[in-house]
Amino acid sequence: MGIVLFGVNHRSAPLEVRERLAFPADGIQDALHRLKGIPPFQEGLILSTCNRTELLAHADGHGGLEGAEAMKRFLAEERHFPVVELDRYCYRMADRDAVHHLFRVTASLDSMVLGEAQILGQVKDAYQAALQAGSLGAVLDPLLRRALGVAKKVRTQTGIARHPLSVSSAAVSLASTIFEKLKGRRVLLIGAGKMGELAARALMERGADSVVVTNRSFPRALELSQRFSGKAEPFERLLETLERVDIVISCTAAGEPILRYDDVARLIRARKNRPIFFIDIAVPRDIEARVNTIDNVYLYDLDDLADLVSTGRAEREAEAMRAEEIVRREVAVFEAWIRNQDLSPLISATRDRLESLRTLELERHRTRLSTLTAEQRRAVEELTGGLMSKILHHPIQALKRAAQLPDGPDRARFFREVFGLDEQPEDSREESPEEPAPIKRGEDDSSGHT
């Protein structure tokens, strides 16, 4: 298949590594152009979320170690990460394993929160970005569409999403454990993207009176705050706003921290040491990690949420077993499809080979056929063409069935040999004389007479 996947996720690497390897959303299309331009890749996709960065590519006739090494070098150069360290944190997969992994990821079977819905939207966004970049083709495009279809089947045919949970809602659950009640507490949401919206919704469901939203784009902050009967504050007044709140959930797409140690140290003095709780669910992180060393400042990040989101996992894992079976079936279906696609050039070459032989034989017998009328010549053309199709029908069907077997590639090579696809059609001229000599009476021993 030539499909290669190289990546890192919440199980293979800590947050400080994941944030360094994450691609900014506004830079993915340019990165895809560069990925597609690296031999041997012809197609590519980049999935970069809060918990994973994965590169998926197709290289016809290549794959495995060669493709993974090229991906490793690309990721190291793009994210300015030491290439020798990537092997400590990254995984690599090829062909069937890569397809199986992609289907599991899209169906939320590989998420920190088993069954969460957000990953499906993130894969859709990655797919759209790749479409716009022109980096999808005859293999990855149908593969991504199949992956999205698998996720839909899992969500509709199993109960894995019956009790939906997300990183955003887990963050709100953590806020609820920090304070006995959210009612009356002042909550600031930094960032107005999808994760911020999910967090705001969960906060209201848990009893928060209102949500204050700040964002670099004030109109977007205003729009989101009005949706939840909250209030918007200009991003430029962030430090001033922080003096009046108790809980901060930060989830921007900034490429570097928006709150550093010195900022929070001044803030806590202005608050007269009143405690403040930060929940940072952004990648890269919005809040400098050493902020957590300041007295009366409590900072939680994505890795801190890992234990919390495991709550209720056992119930979802029971449904996940059914989901895994759906994934296995769909991987087999895609494998069968891709094998049949791989057979198309072979089948076309076989038809062309026999058509060349048919045309050559008709040309060699042109003298004998010269007395035929135009209608009779058409009848000969139809007869020989139909005969060729009938002869090919069963071998081609057998070839398609053989493609589903483990030794399918060996059988395909044997098929090429049987039909002489690596020979030139002109070779057949040595196999038969120009004009077959007439058989004289008495020379045919096959009749049994002398």
End-to-end CA distance of the chain: 61
Q: Using CA atoms, how far apart are residues 217 and 225, in angstroms rounded to an integer?
A: 13
Give all strands (DSSP E) within 216-354, no chain letters.
231-234, 247-250, 276-280, 297-300
Helices 374-402 and 408-418: crossing angle, nearest 10°?
A: 150
Q: Using CA atoms, how far apart are residues 20 and 324, in angstroms rounded to an integer?
A: 31
| Residue in 15, 50, 172, 248 annotated catalytic | 50
Tell me, rounded to whole angstroms, the distance of Cα 430 from its chain centroid.
53
Reduce the DSSP state of residue 327 to 3 states and report it: helix
Q: Using CA atoms, how far apart are residues 274 and 268, in angstroms rounded to an integer?
A: 7
Q: Do residues 227 and 168 touch, judged by C-beta distance below 8 A? A: no
- Alpha-helical segments (H) within 365-373: 366-369
Q: What angle do CA 435, 437, 439 make, to 5 degrees?
A: 150
Question: DSSP secondary-structure letter at 44?
Answer: E
In this structure, the dihedral spanned by the alpha carbons of residues 351, 355, 361 and 366, taken in order and rounded to 10 degrees, is 170
Q: Do residues 392 and 347 touch, judged by C-beta distance below 8 A? A: no
Cross-sheet strand order for the sheet of 247-250? 231-234, 211-215, 187-190, 247-250, 276-280, 297-300
Residue 251 catalytic?
no
Question: Length of the chain in residues, anyone?
Answer: 450
Burial of 53 (0-12, 13-18, 19+ CB in 10 A): buried
Positions annotated as catalytic residues are 50
